[in-house]
Amino acid sequence: MDVVSPELNSLLPDEIMDTESIAMEEELPAEHLAAPPQSEPEPLQVPMETELPEIVSLCPATTSMKMTSTDAQCSTSSGTQLLLAPSNLISGTTTSAKTTGPAVTQNLPKIPSVTVPANHQLIINKLSGTPAVVSKSPGAAVLKPEGQKLLVAGLSKTGQPIMLALPHTWNKPATTQGTGDVKAQPTQIKLMTTVGKPVIAVSSGSQLMGSSTTLQAQQLKTLQFTKKAAVSTAGPMITKLIITKALNNKGLSSPASVAPVVTGRVVTQSTPVTPPRNITFGETISTVPQNTSGNSKVAISPLKSPSKLTVVSVASQSPNSPQKSVTLPLSVALGQQILTVQQSAATSPAKAGTSQSTAQTVKPVQTVGGVGTSQFKTIIPLTTPPNVQQIQVPGSRFHYVRLVTATTGSSTAQSSGSTNTNPSIHPAKPVMMNAAVRMSVPIVSAQTIKQVVPKPLTSAAQVVTTSQTPQRLIMPATHLPQIQPNLTSLPPGTVLAPAHGSGNMGYAVLPAPYVTQIPQPAFVTLTSSSTFSTATPIQTQARLSLNGQLQFTLSEFNLSSHRYCDCFANGEFCNNCNCVNCFNNLDHESERLKAIKACLDRNPVAFKPKIGKGKEGESDRRHSKGCNCKKSGCLKNYCECYEAKIMCSSMCKCMGCKNFEESPERKTLMHLADAAEVRVLQQTAAKTKLSSQISDLLTRTTPAITSGGGKGFLELKRSPEFAADSPCRYGDMAVQSFSGFSIDLSVSSRSPVAKSGTK
């Protein structure tokens, strides 16, 4: 690893907090996404295209070490995923670093490699001789030398940690061995330092992952980690993780919408530090060096709105039996996100660090990213009562709630469920999925989370539906043997999608309103497979097929279509769609239930994502069923394969197929399509720029601009200094619509200002 001296750092003060340039470097094409880690035995399907989030994560690599530093801080642009090794580990690789404690200088682990997958995740590996990050953080196991690199140097003489954010093009192997010449490419290096704070120090064995929703790539979030010296190596340590949105955060949304969520691990308690807009949280972890203390994974929705946040924590772990870790991987799939949660019981109560509503005490988190092309934001809340928090994202179509784990008596989950003692369960092995899944889980009390057998959604499950915005409850139907026994531990209200069959992956998509508003007698029994036996009959609100797919049909929805309504197929209620006489709403729940049941009986795979992960050795994506084209040559959008921009496979039954790799027709079309896309992008960029200029012009030239009461409107008012009857260039501007990229200014006839249309 390269060593960045403090001198170098001091010479480049302007580089600090240079978020824009960093953000630019983060822009990676989708094809640069990281491949699944090799440690993953069997990648799961990627049901849908995913708009990938980026991760800021902190991942300690050591198993036991002393932390004498009191504060640690790192800054990174949002969206950049970082896996940071412990400070001592870092310092051991830097010549200029000053260790903060005597224990730190001993047995300094080396960082053999710094690899960055394409998802901008920086992974600093330890030596192979030590318990690697990989073993504890499968998500960090992706060591694909792509993407942006970030080197974390140790403490300087002034105590400033130095982090080098390297462009993704800077992936020479030498850099991973500490022999790279930093100065050789000065323009590609971003230095981020913390002022007056020691370098990031992550407690041993803990896995931290900080993540935050990102509204814009330019957002900068500061992660502050506070550690206190442990009494002994085996003693508790304090780790405080703070994520602070930088002041230059360009996010325009409310705090709830951005709600940076960071996970961390705190051995005991942390001193609350609650600067404005900071989120401080801590978590109690086991002090057993080899104890991974479970892993908690929560994926933040990487969907369109980065503000969407889903936090789920399930399972608990006996503090004294790390190998019996009853981690409950809760994998959720919506085709775009996968959420995996493994959470351990805390040996001591965790303590939230801030009084802010967004403050969270979190469990150790590790990313499940790095699998496939997915990128994850992993968050684990370790909330104190109230154990339920709802995340409301203004403007979002979805509501999210957090499932939190009780901080006390967490060991009951392990002992209560006989299925949890399945030896096949890997203690800390997270369930890795290669697709992100959005998951909205009904709010459940902490105690109910531990219950082995899900109950019908009655009083136990407290689902909050505050608006007509559909909620989704999506659970994985993937065949995941390691988590299957733990599925019985899902909290009441959770819709289970029992894995069944081999490779027949499905997803249970259940709108939350559907869950919450169904009368109890209307429950649809969750069909359990033979391998998914439970002592108690499981009831939930949707009937699931054997492969775990929740299905809906419109046959009883008085719709004249044999096809599924898109809204329905997505597990949503129809809203502002073109459905006629639609029954896919809350007013027709009984009919909807019938439709679901009928559909499940008829076709268990109707809602299965058509484009999924191909078999091993095949291309990443392929049509699950294959097309059946006859006339289009599979080169028109009639063909589902072509429409999905994938080539036809052996599954297809098409005739005259031209949608294969070497097809000249296909290549020609692709070239044309690419060219067209480039043009569209250029035009869009031009429009955006022009609109921005116009808007800026209006702002600067208009005497007064006040936001109108309506949404997305600008009200242009006459400035007081202009008399009502005086000639005024802008005097007759009325309220104009300001929608999207278009600004249409209507100017009165006596103000012959040229209209500006950007469309």
**Which residues are near DNA by CB under 7 A?**
553, 555, 560-564, 566, 599, 602-603, 606, 610, 625, 627-634, 636-640, 643
* Residue closer to DNA (CB basis): 626 or 708: 626
* Residue closer to DNA (CB basis): 229 or 577: 577
Rounded distance between C-alpha atoms, residue 651 and residue 626, angstroms: 5
The least CB distance from residue 629 to DNA, in Å, is: 3
E strand or H helix at 258, and its extent? helix 255-258
Residue closest to 469 by CA, chosen among 567, 387, 606, 378: 567
* Residue closer to DNA (CB basis): 124 or 639: 639
The least CB distance from residue 643 to DNA, in Å, is: 7
* Residue closer to DNA (CB basis): 431 or 508: 508
Phi then psi for residue 364, to 5 deg, are -60, 140
The least CB distance from residue 595 to DNA, in Å, is: 11
* Residue closer to DNA (CB basis): 522 or 655: 655
* Contact in structure between 25 and 197 (CB atoms under 8 Å): no
Tokens of 584: 């896919």
* Residue closer to DNA (CB basis): 146 or 556: 556
* Residue closer to DNA (CB basis): 7 or 566: 566
Residue closest to 151 by CA, chosen among 99, 205, 80: 80
Rounded distance between C-alpha atoms, residue 167 and residue 148, angstroms: 5
The least CB distance from residue 560 to DNA, in Å, is: 5
* Residue closer to DNA (CB basis): 83 or 579: 579
E strand or H helix at 737, and its extent? strand 736-739
The least CB distance from residue 335 to DNA, in Å, is: 15
* Residue closer to DNA (CB basis): 126 or 621: 621
The least CB distance from residue 603 to DNA, in Å, is: 5
The least CB distance from residue 561 to DNA, in Å, is: 4
* Residue closer to DNA (CB basis): 564 or 738: 564
Region label for 17, one of left (φ > 0), alpha (ψ between -120 and 50) or beta (otherwise): left
DSSP helix/strand/coil, 715 = strand
The least CB distance from residue 708 to DNA, in Å, is: 29
The least CB distance from residue 567 to DNA, in Å, is: 11
* Residue closer to DNA (CB basis): 561 or 748: 561
Strand-pair partners of 227:
239
Residue closest to 550 by CA, chosen among 600, 593, 513: 600
* Contact in structure between 550 and 544 (CB atoms under 8 Å): yes
* Residue closer to DNA (CB basis): 630 or 750: 630
Residue closest to 82 by CA, chosen among 50, 59, 106, 61: 59
The least CB distance from residue 656 to DNA, in Å, is: 9
Contacts of 129 (CB under 8 A, 6+ apart): none
* Residue closer to DNA (CB basis): 507 or 564: 564
Tokens of 527: 């069909």
The least CB distance from residue 636 to DNA, in Å, is: 4
* Residue closer to DNA (CB basis): 247 or 675: 675
Tokens of 113: 């490699």
The least CB distance from residue 74 to DNA, in Å, is: 45
Rounded distance between C-alpha atoms, residue 211 and residue 203, angstroms: 18
The least CB distance from residue 511 to DNA, in Å, is: 19
* Contact in structure between 30 and 373 (CB atoms under 8 Å): yes
* Contact in structure between 303 and 212 (CB atoms under 8 Å): no
* Residue closer to DNA (CB basis): 3 or 641: 641
Using CA atoms, how far residue 441 sits from 10, 21, 465, 609, in Å, is 48, 37, 11, 21
* Residue closer to DNA (CB basis): 26 or 640: 640
Using CA atoms, how far residue 288 sits from 237, 283, 426, 750, 751, in Å, is 11, 15, 17, 80, 76
- Which amino acid makes up residue 246? A
Rounded distance between C-alpha atoms, residue 339 and residue 356, angstroms: 25
* Residue closer to DNA (CB basis): 157 or 636: 636
601-473-317 Cα angle (round to 5): 115
Tokens of 515: 């869950």
Tokens of 537: 């009959």
Tokens of 396: 């979002």
Rounded distance between C-alpha atoms, residue 413 and residue 608, angstroms: 32
The least CB distance from residue 686 to DNA, in Å, is: 25
Rounded distance between C-alpha atoms, residue 65 and residue 102, angstroms: 11
The least CB distance from residue 642 to DNA, in Å, is: 8
The least CB distance from residue 357 to DNA, in Å, is: 41
Rounded distance between C-alpha atoms, residue 373 and residue 512, angstroms: 28
* Contact in structure between 501 and 547 (CB atoms under 8 Å): yes
DSSP states of 151-185: EEEEE-TTS-EEEEEE-TT---HHHHTT---GGGS
Q: Long-range contact list for 754-758, CB < 8 A, 24+ apart?
A: 756/694, 758/687, 758/690, 758/691, 758/694
Tokens of 664: 């000249």
* Residue closer to DNA (CB basis): 127 or 651: 651
The least CB distance from residue 126 to DNA, in Å, is: 48
The least CB distance from residue 635 to DNA, in Å, is: 8
- Which amino acid makes up residue 656? G
Dihedral angle over CA of 213, 219, 220, 225, nearest 10: -10
Do you find a cis peptide bond into 386, omega within 30 degrees of 0?
yes
Phi then psi for residue 107, to 5 deg, are 55, 45
Region label for 414, one of left (φ > 0), alpha (ψ between -120 and 50) or beta (otherwise): alpha
